[in-house]
Amino acid sequence: MSLAGREILLGVGGGISAYKAAELLRRLQDLGLGVTVIPTQASLRFVGSATWEALSGRAVLENLWENVQQVPHIKAAREANLIVIAPTTADLLSRIAGGVANDLLTNVVLATTAPIVLIPAMHPEMWLNAATQENVEKLRDRGVLVIEPDEGRMTGDDIGVGRFPEVTRLLSEISKFVDLNSDLLGRRILVTAGGTREPIDPVRYIGNLSSGKQGYAIARAARNRGAIVTLISANSSLAEEQGVRTIHVTSTEEMSSALNVEFAKNDVLFMAAAVADAKPLLVSDAKIKKENFLSIELVQNPDLLAGITKARRGDQVIVAFAAETGDIDIAGAQEKLKRKGADLLFLNDVTDGAIFGSEETQGSLLDSDGEILSIEKQGKDTLADILLDRALIKLG
Ligand code: CTP
């Protein structure tokens, strides 16, 4: 079962590293997970509820005696798909191992059937104490994932095992334990979306019907699978995606500049934007009167994709898109894939305005190795995952 889009309960124990749980919370949200925080009373001395409410965007569950009619510990325990406690103090380890339920968090742990991940952090003497080690062993025997702390400098002068681990290691261990669907963890993915506009005068432009839905769907899916995503969005009216760095552009020239800055930092480029093929030779400073608005002389825009593929490294993967009307010319699309220097090309038929602005899509996925995959009608989110799967294979 993939946990993408599901619910995590983040318990926060009363240790100095409680503040480090904030970054973990953010990264879990970036994977598309909903996070509700249950801080212990002791942890509130280190990080207050306001921080957790602001970061999670949700009310914080603080004690057993609020909203008693809803039986909060049972409700929270049933709704959670995963429980993570960060940091887990020696006291929490002992209470959980002993089946004690004397606050909201330990009640939830006792009542849940969801997998449990504990992230202990404490002074080395406490971690190595026989009582703590016995508790850890007991919990591991019961199927709880107890993550080994890092070795290093503690809050005081001492050095040893007991530090709160780096978040990247935590995510990688958690996703081995439960399927967080994070096969793109740490990969950098650049997506262009929408359609560029070329000004004619202060009130008119040449544009196209691209809604940006396919590009946004790719950005969202990549984020849900753990990637670090940058989206260059041209004139889309869609809301920004949480956890996706979005750069807004209008013209082809602006998109070109953004691509030139961003491309080298990324492992994969999805060139889903509809780039205006041409622009007016002259842009009028004043609105053109209708008597004079009868023809526009155009000049061709540079082909951004062809330009960028010339600057590519061997370890980068490039995915192109093509929208055609009428008879779908697979041989022509294969030639386009080669000419543009991309690894994959998704070809769709936009005859009669189909696809543009729609939630669904269909077409053919062409691979530079000659393979052609027919994509039956399906959601743009599903196509996004198929494209990401293919790109991941190409990344090796
Ligand atoms: N593209 C680009 N720069 C352009 C035009 C297109 O980077 N000036 C990219 C698109 O983002 C898309 C791919 O190239 O990923 C294919 O676009 P398409 O418009 O089908 O290609 P063209 O070269 O314009 O071919 P055609 O002559 O069929 O319009």
- Please tell me if the CB atom of residue 322 comes closer than 6 angstroms to any atom of ligand 1: yes
Question: At residue 67, does pLDDT exceed 90?
Answer: no
- The 10s digit of each residue's pLDDT in 204-241 is 999 999 999 999 999 999 988 888 899 999 999 999 88
Q: Are residues 234 and 158 in the same domain?
A: no
Between CA 32 and CA 226 the distance in angstroms is: 9
- Please check the confidence at residue 394 and state whether its pLDDT lies above 70: yes
Q: How far apart are CA 309 and CA 264, in angstroms?
A: 11
CB distance 371 to ligand 1 below 6 Å: no
Beta-carbon count within 10 A of 120 CB? 29
- Please report the atom of ligand 1 found closest to the CA of residue 302: 8
Q: Is residue 2 part of a domain?
A: no
Q: Is the pTM of this model over 0.85?
A: no
Same domain, 170 and 195: no
Verify whether residue 135 is a known catalytic residue: no
Q: Which residue has the higher pLDDT, 3 or 363?
A: 363
Cα gap 87→24, rounded to integer Å: 11
The pLDDT value recorded for residue 371 is 96
Characterize 161-175 residue by residue with b for buried, 16 or more Cβ atoms within 10 angstroms of its Cβ, and e for exposed. Answer: bbbbbebeebbbebb
For residue 183, being part of any structural domain is answered with no
Is the minimum distance from the CB of 304 to ligand 1 under 6 angstroms? yes
Q: How confident is the model at residue 355 (pLDDT cuts 50, 70, 90)?
A: confident
Give DSSP secondary structure letters for 73-93. HHHHHHH-SEEEEEEEPHHHH
> 181, 208, 260, 301: which is the annotated catalytic residue?
208
CA-wise closest residue to 42 among 11, 68, 73? 11
Q: Residue 49: what are its φ and ψ, rounded to 5°?
A: -60, -30
Residue 29 maps to a domain: yes
**Cα–Cα distance, 355 to 360 (Å, whole number):** 6
> What percent of the chain clears pLDDT 70, i.e. is strictly above it?
98
Q: Which segment of 6-10, 183-187, 325-329, 353-357 scores lowest on mean pLDDT?
A: 353-357
pLDDT at 385: 93
Question: Across residues 328-354, what is the average pLDDT?
Answer: 90
Claim to verify: residue 206 and residue 249 sit in the same structural domain: yes
Same domain? 137 vs 211:
no
Q: How many angstroms separate the CA atoms of 98 and 139, rounded?
A: 9
CA distance 24 to 2: 19
Average pLDDT, the chain: 92
Q: Which helix (H) or strand (E) holds 279?
A: strand 278-280
Q: 231: which 2 tokens? A: 């989206």
d(CA 189, CA 14): 37
Least confident of 74-83, 160-169, 259-268, 299-308: 74-83
DSSP 159: E
* Residue 118: how many other CB atoms lie within 10 Å: 25
Tell me the average pLDDT across 309-331: 92
Q: pLDDT value at position 3?
A: 64
207 and 308 in a single domain? The answer is yes
CATH code, domain carrying 370: 3.40.50.10300
Tokens of 364: 């053919």
**Apex 145 CA angle, 112 and 24, nearest 5:** 90
Write the CATH number for 66: 3.40.50.1950
Three-class secondary structure of residue 351 per DSSP: helix
In this predicted structure, the answer to whether residue 258 has a pLDDT above a threshold of 90 is: yes
Q: Region 170-190: what's the mean pLDDT?
A: 85
Residue 314 DSSP one-character state: T
Q: What is the largest CA-CA distance in the chain?
A: 90
* Cα dist from 131 to 106, 128, 163, whole Å: 19, 8, 19
Give the torsion sign (CA, 334, 339, 344, 346).
negative
pLDDT tier, 48 (very low <50, low <70, confident <90, very high otherwise): very high
Residue of minimum CA distance from atom 19 in ligand 1: 322
pLDDT confidence of residue 359: 87
| pLDDT confidence of residue 32 | 79
Q: What is the pLDDT of residues 87-136, one digit of tens each?
A: 999 999 999 999 999 999 999 999 998 889 999 999 999 999 999 999 99
| Atom number of ligand 1 nearest to Cα 307 | 7
Residue 1 in any domain: the answer is no
Domain shared by 196 and 75, yes or no = no
Q: Is residue 172 part of a domain?
A: yes
Q: Are 129 and 43 found together in one domain?
A: yes
For residues 159 and 68, state if they share a domain.
Answer: yes
Return the CA Rg of the chain: 26
Residues 142 and 217 in one domain: no
State the pLDDT confidence band at 1, using cuts at 50, 70 and 90.
very low
pLDDT-based confidence at residue 331 (cuts at 50, 70, 90): very high
Q: Is residue 383 part of a domain?
A: yes
Give the per-residue pLDDT at 164. 96
**How many structural domains is the chain composed of?**
2
Lowest-confidence region among 37-46, 106-115, 278-287: 106-115
Mean pLDDT value across residues 280-289:
97
- Which of 129, 159, 178 terminates a domain? The answer is 178
- The whole-number pLDDT of residue 30 equals 84
Say yes or no to pLDDT of 65 above 90: no
Q: Which of 26, 81, 84 is nearest to 57 (CA)?
A: 26
Answer yes or no: is the C-beta of 275 below 6 A from any ligand 1 atom: yes
Mutation probe of ligand 1 site: the residue of 263, 269, 305, 368 with most atoms within 8 A of C-beta: 305
Query: 364 or 175: whose pLDDT is higher?
Result: 364
43 lies in some domain: yes
Domain boundary among 147, 178, 209: 178
Structural domain harbouring 237: 188-395
Domain end (from 119, 143, 178): 178
CA distances from 69 to 22, 64, 65, 127 (A): 30, 11, 9, 39
User: Cα torsion for 21, 22, 27, 32, to the nearest 10°?
Assistant: 110
Question: Are residues 36 and 164 located together in one domain of the fold?
Answer: yes
How much is the pLDDT for 4?
Answer: 58
Residue 92 lies in a domain: yes
277 in contact with ligand 1, CB cutoff 6 A: yes
Both 113 and 234 in one domain: the answer is no
pLDDT at 80 over 70: yes
Residue 52 scores a pLDDT above 70: yes
Count Cβ atoms below 10 Å from residue 364 Cβ, excluding itself: 18
Asked whether the beta carbons of 71 and 28 are under 8 A apart, the reply is no
98 and 172 both lie in a single domain: yes
